[in-house]
Amino acid sequence: MMHCRSRHIFGCIYCTTCSLLIMLMLSYYLLMVIINPSNVEFYVTEASLTQFNFTSNNTLFYHLKVNVTVRNPNKHMIVYYRNITAIAWYKDNDVGRVSLAPFDQAHKNTTYLQALFEGQNVIPLKPKQLGEYQEETSIGVYNDLAVDFDLKIRSKYRKWFKSGRFNPPIVQCRRMRVPLISNGKSAPSFIVIKCNSGSFFKDRGAH
């Protein structure tokens, strides 16, 4: 195949397989450029904390619940979510991560997800951030929380073209203001956040 000049049969097979794979990847990439599918839309519709204690040994005890709406706006694309890792952040510190169950999403369908982050983690809050944390604690609403989605998906265009597994750009839901719910005290309501889902149908390595 193409530049296959190897004298060894295995080298030749390897070479052929590689060029076939590269051609397949290129044709997927070209197809995405031609049909230009809309990005899948992610929204955080609800988020609440029932615990968010930062203790003197720099340990954060947290219990964060996040509702997410995922909408595939495309008429001819099916999305197969194969690996979904949700990552929670507080002021740019990695708080915790959780895996969600894989699912398939038909064209023009919406899926409702819930991610529950629970546990403890040592996080290095800077003095300024510690001051903000204390102020937010007194108000009962925490600023600058974020949730990322690290995905591995396959996609299918109409009936005939199914991609291999790839990683879309990391979906980023930033600047969430999350109320702490304590002793049934009614917290202010959460403001819905639209997440940034980049060029969703292109592998994040292909930029």
Ligand X SMILES: *[C@@H]1O[C@H](CO)[C@@H](O)[C@H](O)[C@H]1NC(C)=O
Nearer residue to ligand X within complex by CB, 19 or 69: 69
Is 53 among the residues that bind ligand X (CB under 6 A)?
Answer: yes
Order of strands across the sheet that contains 41-54: 110-122, 59-71, 41-54, 193-194
Which residue lies nearer to ligand X by CB, 41 or 46?
A: 46
Compare residues 32 and 70 and give the one whose CB is closer to ligand X: 70
Q: CA 25, CA 28: separation in Å to the nearest integer?
A: 5
Token pair belonging to 162: 């199914």
Using rule CB under 6 A, residue 138 touches ligand X: no
Number of residues that bind ligand X (CB under 6 A): 16
50 binds ligand X (CB under 6 A): no
Burial class (CB in 10 A: 0-12, 13-18, 19+), 85: middle
Provide the 10 A C-beta neighbour count for residue 5.
Answer: 8
Residue 55 is a binding residue for ligand X (CB under 6 A): yes
By the rule CB under 6 A, 139 interacts with ligand X: no
Query: In the numeric block, which tokens belong to residue 169?
Result: 């750009």
- Which C-beta is closer to ligand X: that of 46 or that of 132? 46
